[in-house]
Structure 1
Amino acid sequence: MKESIILAVDGGATKTTLTLRSIQGQCLFEKSTSGSNYQTIGVNAVIELLSNILHSAYLSTQLEPIHVAVFAMAGIDTKSDLETVTHIINQSLQSTPFHIEKLIIENDVQSTLIGLVENHPGALLISGTGSIVFGTDGKSKLVRTGGWGHRASDEGSGYWIGRQILKAIFRAEDELEPPTILKKILLEKLQIRSMDQLMAWLYQPDYTNAQTASISSVLQEAVSLGDEKAIHIAQSAAKELFSLVKATVTKLQYEDEAFKLFLNGGILKHDPYIRNSLQQMIHRTYPHMTIVLCKDNPIEYIVRRAKYSLKIS
């Protein structure tokens, strides 16, 4: 009997990774390319991107039977999104001879959570470019809080923090608020010298949300220098993220049983002030909750999700 083969795709907003693994964990193929959120780059662009990376995987391995394929994709927020992404994936798969026995298509955060907790209660908080929480009671209940995009929510995310930094700098420039060292640090980061140049950077034709999210990295330095505005932004970000967690565990009717909260995303991984502030809030309110900072590459959690689907099938 041939060993089961897993195909896992982590289709994020900024990066897409595809891997082929044996059920025992041997990596047969792995490749990354640019983001595959259809809401950002469009349906046809995602079809082309996935078709190319799937074709590369087949050419490299010459494998045809795939026992389970998990496409964990950003941008699946509604039933309509799921229908659109399902169409995209079906179109993309037509370009390869892969024969997939079990095909799973779901939101990337949901897929990651299942890979982390399997059939145990837990939640996953992500704060990167955006922010979102998925939680489960370990049975049939799956809930979501946040993740509605930068126009409606994403509080406590890199994009949200970037917006707060820009707002603080421009309000200080107008003398509506006290000066902040955020201006000096940001101009140095962007290698520009004036507010005029900052305006040009902000309103350039090829602007993206990731561009604003990227400037969140200056917050930590300003906090370490004791800048009051930076500290206020960091504390506000932690409070917003705590609100997402609190709403999620309330929906799950959490009552101090064994429960793991996983943290992931650039803000939570690389900004210790925000992460520590958040952890303090959680421990005060939920003293029995275990907090775990994710350390593996995201694709590893999608692989685990695929293996779990084979366990329960």
Structure 2
Amino acid sequence: MAFYLAVDLGGTKTEYVLADETRELARVRGGTIKRMRTDATTAEENFTQAIRELEQMSGVSVRDITRSCVGAAGVTVALVTDWIRKIFAERIGGSLILVGDVEIALDGAFFGGPGVLVMSGTGSNVAGRTAAGKLTTAGGWGPALSDQGSGSRIGQQALRDTTLAVDEERETTLLPAILKLWNLRDFDELVAYANQVPAPDFTKLAPEVVSCAAAGDAVAQGVLRREAEELAHLARLVIDRLRRVDTRSDWLPDLAFTGSILEHVAPIREGIVESLRRELPALKVVPGMVDPTLGALWRARHG
């Protein structure tokens, strides 16, 4: 019997799935093994713990694995790829496929086919793949330059809109919510805290924005609406690129979502779809959230 190992290698955690040809046998979440984010000793300890748990849960030795697929950001960085290839050659049986994290996410949604995937968590990115397999992306340039619709951007924009509301003498429940979260006494302390170097973690404000928006706060609702529109704009750019190279005049790629913001913040997800369907009413959306690890498993099974 053939066995397959799928790995979604992130900067803070790593997801593993061990499966046979039809069934998922074990799933483990461990610490990062990305060498740009941790030292070699810690990465090896995290990897050892994860494969030990996989073996205990599945009853399968990792030496008996037929093929593995690892998806990771930074696959062009030798520090990342050399270490992965070395540790897999030493510890895991079979062959190894090493690809970018965007590719396994697309495979999780479209199983090697064309489509557009919107990703939003701490950061954000939109990726598309043509029928010929060519990748294209928009956004993903980091919190200082883009990350539309991400947790970081939602928090940062909430602060900006809150200060504007103060200037305009408008009430917003965001202000007391932010002060309470950050344990600050008043607006002056907020100004100093938000402008400190290094900056605070703006991502932590995102749940407060969602809560205030759900309770009817206009400022919070405006933040989520604008971020959804901006992320939808990036998705439209990618959709248009794919359509330009497709020979079918009426073809429209399907849309899929992945990431914690898109999973848990319905106004962002729904706002993206609403914005795109104004001009593309036939747009089809893949239900649920894409699991990139299952994309890596699909690729491992299919070689």
CA 115–226 in structure 1, closer or farther in 2 if over 3 Å, else same:
closer
CA drift at 1:124: 0.9
CA drift at 1:224: 2.8
Please tell me the residue identity of whatever aligns with 2:109.
L
Aligned to 1:183: 175
Q: RCO (CA 8 Å, sep 6+): is it higher in 1 or 2?
A: 2
Aligned to 1:66: 65
Give yes or no for contact 1:115–1:305 (8 Å, CA) kept in 2.
no
CA drift at 1:125: 0.6
Aligned-partner Cα distance in 2 for 1:163–1:41: 28
Aligned to 1:130: 123
Aligned to 2:10: 12
Residue-pair matches, total = 296
CA drift at 1:256: 3.5
Give yes or no for contact 2:149–2:227 (8 Å, CA) kept in 1.
yes
Which sections of structure 1, spanning at least 5 residues, go unmatched? none
Aligned-partner Cα distance in 1 for 2:155–2:136: 28
Aligned-partner Cα distance in 2 for 1:191–1:132: 32
The alignment partner of 2:277 has SS state of helix
Aligned to 2:160: 167
Q: Normalization by structure 2: what TM-score?
A: 0.83
Aligned to 1:250: 240
CA 277–263 in structure 1, closer or farther in 2 if over 3 Å, else same:
same
Please tell me the residue identity of whatever aligns with 1:139.
A
Aligned-partner Cα distance in 1 for 2:158–2:8: 30
Q: Deviations over 1:244-303 (max 9, x none)?
A: 111111221254315211012222222222222211111122222211243465433332
Aligned-partner Cα distance in 1 for 2:89–2:195: 40
Q: Deviations over 1:99-145 (max 9, x none)?
A: 222x1212222212123212432111111111111111222322122
Percent identity of equivalent pairs: 26
Please tell me the residue identity of whatever aligns with 1:90.
R
Give yes or no for contact 1:55–1:95 (8 Å, CA) kept in 2.
no
Aligned-partner Cα distance in 2 for 1:218–1:238: 17
1:89 aligns to 2:89 (yes or no): no
The alignment partner of 2:29 has SS state of strand
Give yes or no for contact 1:187–1:198 (8 Å, CA) kept in 2.
no
Aligned to 1:31: 28
Among 257, 277, 281, the alignment partner of 1:283 is: 277
The alignment partner of 1:125 has SS state of strand
The alignment partner of 2:211 has SS state of helix
CA 295–277 in structure 1, closer or farther in 2 if over 3 Å, else same:
closer
Which sections of structure 2, spanning at least 5 residues, go unmatched? none
1:263 aligns to 2:257 (yes or no): yes
1:142 aligns to 2:135 (yes or no): yes
1:114 aligns to 2:107 (yes or no): yes
Please tell me the residue identity of whatever aligns with 1:229.
V
Give yes or no for contact 1:13–1:35 (8 Å, CA) kept in 2.
yes
Give yes or no for contact 1:36–1:74 (8 Å, CA) kept in 2.
no
Give yes or no for contact 2:105–2:290 (8 Å, CA) kept in 1.
no
The alignment partner of 1:61 has SS state of coil
Which stretch of the first structure deviates more once superposed, 64-73 or 191-200?
191-200
Which stretch of the first structure deviates more once superposed, 52-61 or 269-278?
52-61
The alignment partner of 2:94 has SS state of strand
Q: Normalization by structure 1: what TM-score?
A: 0.81
Which stretch of the first structure deviates more once superposed, 232-241 or 249-258?
249-258
1:286-297 correspondence to structure 2 within 5 Å: 286-295=280-289, 297=291
Please tell me the residue identity of whatever aligns with 2:212.
A
CA 45–168 in structure 1, closer or farther in 2 if over 3 Å, else same:
farther
Aligned-partner Cα distance in 2 for 1:99–1:36: 18
Please tell me the residue identity of whatever aligns with 1:137.
T
